[in-house]
């Protein structure tokens, strides 16, 4: 008996030590889930996680924190963190699976992934939340329907912090100097590129490293030749990307690549480098969304002059079913709220964001958002004005190439965009890769 007690006494420190060790470890593992910017409900702060490349949202939030959102910011100050856009979906999945999402963050770039978040109950249903706060009328209907269309089930899960149209921005001076008209058809565009290249001007600035600026061209070409529902058919399984009429689109883009119209080593050019190429007058055309207006309007970055930037719709393809009037539109990467973190503090922020975002983004950054604008600035730069008119006048819109693809197909498509742009991958090879990833489901 005495030996047993003694043994137990001697064992006690060992057990205690192991217990402390286990506690320390579990504390570590619990902490790692919420590391970075993650935070919970009622923690006295309002955390935002964004992509490093997007400075508009955080700038706007900071401005709002000093004005419309002052009360909310006093109760729960804004804290922010950012991650590179190239890693975005990956990081977001990890954070979501560890319950480490911030109060508010940019949504997943792949709509299919957002649907997973929605099914998993990670994302706040904003339709109800905005209704409860009495601010559901603060969204522009067109933008609201675009966000809803992206994620299926008819409710609103993200706020349109941008409302963009995409197309070819061009350097007016470079085109005029080389006698190039603004292209209306794809053949015009190819001819223009050829003329410019012969004159020693790089026709296109393209971020091949990011991939999507290249694959957008493939998607747009498909919409122009096969009509606005062409990619829906692929998503529904009624058509395949490997069908010859779809391959033709990738081939058309690959031909631009083979001809060298995207410039040297396009696979090494990232988003910022491509923006820089265009804004320093080294390239004539730049396919990009209207979110880039913030850069165009920044005199430090824009060396070619704000009024020197023109906008052309993605050209028609002769004999195609689609029309040049179907403008590729999107809500950029909208922002979502984490369901788990939604509390009164977040609600106060949501309310004042809905009320003030439209005015602040347009006045301060020149970004057209999907929020209602009450006090439009009187002295908008001409390019921004042109975009606003374009949005108002566009009869209909189309999504982008990967909008309805699986996360894997989206990743494969964007990873191989550079191959198309430098001519090392044929249209058929590219489409085969993407279709195979889509088939996995």
Partner 1 sequence: MHKVLGDKRAILVLLGPALLVYSLVMLVPIVWSLFYTVQDGNPITGFTFNGFANFAKFFQDPAAWNAIFFTLKYALILTALQVIVGYLLSLMYVFWLRKGSGIIRTIVFFPVVLPTVAVALLFQRLFEAAPTVGPVNSFLGILGGQNLDWFGTPDASFWVIIAMDLWRSMGFYAVLLYAGLVDIPDELIESARIDGASGWKLIRTIVLPLSLPVLLSSIIFSINGTLKVFDTVVALTNGGPGNATTPLTLYMFRTSFAYGDYGYGSTIALMLTILCLLFTVFIFRSTRRDLTKD
Give the interface with partner 1 as residue ranges (CB under 8 A): 7, 10-11, 13-14, 17-18, 21-22, 25, 89-90, 93-94, 96-98, 113, 116-117, 119-120, 122, 208, 263-269, 273, 276-277, 406-408, 411-412, 415-416, 418-419, 422, 424-425, 433, 436, 440
Q: Least Å distance between CB 376 and partner 1?
A: 37
- Angle formed at CA 363 by CA 359 and CA 364, multiple of 5 degrees: 115
What residues does 264 pair with on adjacent strands? none
Query: How many whole angstroms separate alpha carbon 334 and alpha carbon 336?
Result: 7
Q: Between residues 93 and 194, which has the closer beta carbon with respect to partner 1?
A: 93
Q: Between residues 109 and 334, which has the closer beta carbon with respect to partner 1?
A: 109
Q: Between residues 145 and 272, which has the closer beta carbon with respect to partner 1?
A: 272
Q: Least Å distance between CB 284 and partner 1?
A: 16
Q: Between residues 383 and 435, which has the closer beta carbon with respect to partner 1?
A: 435
Q: What is the dihedral of CA 64, 66, 69, 75, to 10 degrees?
A: 140
Q: Between residues 180 and 420, which has the closer beta carbon with respect to partner 1?
A: 420
CA distances from 409 to 205, 220, 233, 405, 428 (A): 25, 17, 16, 6, 15
Q: Least Å distance between CB 223 and partner 1?
A: 25
Q: Least Å distance between CB 21 and partner 1?
A: 5
Q: Least Å distance between CB 407 and partner 1?
A: 5
Q: At 283, phi and psi to the nearest 5?
A: -140, 150
Query: How many whole angstroms separate alpha carbon 403 and alpha carbon 235?
Result: 10
Query: How many whole angstroms separate alpha carbon 175 and alpha carbon 171?
Result: 6
Q: Least Å distance between CB 269 and partner 1?
A: 6
> Under DSSP, is residue 12 helix (H, G, I), strand (E, B) or coil?
helix
Q: Least Å distance between CB 60 and partner 1?
A: 29
- Whether the Cβ atoms of residue 264 and residue 424 lie closer than 8 Å to each other: no
Chain centre distance of CA 330 = 9
Query: How many whole angstroms separate alpha carbon 286 and alpha carbon 269?
Result: 13
Burial of residue 108 (number of CB atoms within 10 Å: 0-12, 13-18, 19+): buried
Q: Between residues 267 and 322, which has the closer beta carbon with respect to partner 1?
A: 267
- Angle formed at CA 75 by CA 84 and CA 39, multiple of 5 degrees: 40
Q: Between residues 74 and 153, which has the closer beta carbon with respect to partner 1?
A: 153
Instruction: For 355-380, give the DSSP string.
Output: HHHHHHIIIII----SBPPSS--SS-
- Whether the Cβ atoms of residue 85 and residue 54 lie closer than 8 Å to each other: yes
Q: Between residues 121 and 244, which has the closer beta carbon with respect to partner 1?
A: 121
Q: Least Å distance between CB 119 and partner 1?
A: 6
């Amino acid at each position: 008996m005495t030996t047993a007690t003694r043994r137990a006494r001697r064992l006690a420190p060992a057990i205690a030590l192991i217990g402390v060790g286990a506690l320390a470890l579990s504390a570590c593992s619990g902490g790692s889930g919420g590391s970075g910017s993650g935070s919970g409900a009622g923690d006295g702060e309002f955390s935002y996680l964004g992509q490093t490349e997007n400075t508009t949202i955080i700038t706007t939030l900071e401005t709002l924190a000093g004005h419309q959102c002052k009360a909310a910011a006093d109760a729960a100050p804004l804290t922010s963190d950012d991650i590179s856009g190239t890693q975005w979906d990956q990081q977001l999945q990890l954070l979501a699976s560890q319950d480490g999402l911030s109060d508010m963050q940019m949504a997943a770039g792949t709509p299919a992934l957002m649907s997973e978040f929605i099914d998993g109950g990670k994302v706040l249903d904003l339709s109800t939340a905005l209704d409860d706060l009495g601010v559901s009328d603060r969204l522009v209907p067109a933008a609201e329907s675009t966000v809803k269309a992206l994620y299926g089930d008819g409710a609103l899960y993200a706020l349109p912090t941008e409302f963009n149209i995409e197309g070819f921005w061009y350097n007016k001076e470079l085109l005029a100097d080389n006698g190039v008209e603004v292209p209306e058809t794809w053949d015009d565009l190819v001819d223009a590129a050829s003329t410019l290249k012969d004159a020693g001007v790089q026709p296109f600035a393209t971020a091949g490293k990011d991939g999507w600026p290249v694959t957008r061209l493939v998607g747009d070409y498909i919409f122009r030749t096969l009509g606005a529902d062409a990619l829906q058919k692929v998503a529904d399984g009624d058509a395949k990307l490997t069908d010859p009429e779809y391959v033709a689109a990738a081939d058309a883009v690959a031909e631009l690549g083979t001809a060298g119209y995207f410039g040297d080593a396009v696979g090494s050019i990232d988003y910022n480098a491509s923006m820089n190429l265009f804004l320093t007058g080294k390239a004539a055309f730049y396919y990009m969304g209207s979110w880039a207006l913030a850069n165009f309007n920044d005199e430090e970055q824009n060396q070619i002059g704000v009024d020197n930037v023109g906008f052309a719709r993605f050209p028609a393809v002769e004999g195609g079913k689609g029309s040049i009037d179907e403008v590729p539109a999107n809500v950029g990467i909208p922002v979502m709220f984490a369901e788990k973190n939604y509390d009164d503090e977040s609600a106060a922020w949501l309310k004042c964001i809905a009320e003030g975002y439209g005015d602040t983004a347009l006045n301060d950054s020149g970004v057209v958002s999907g929020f209602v604008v009450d006090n439009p600035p009187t002295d908008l730069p001409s390019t921004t004005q042109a975009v606003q008119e374009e949005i108002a006048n566009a009869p209909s819109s189309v999504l982008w190439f990967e909008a309805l693809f699986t996360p894997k197909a989206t990743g494969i498509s964007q990873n191989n965009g550079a191959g198309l742009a430098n001519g090392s991958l044929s249209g058929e090879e590219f489409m085969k890769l993407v279709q195979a990833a889509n088939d996995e489901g």
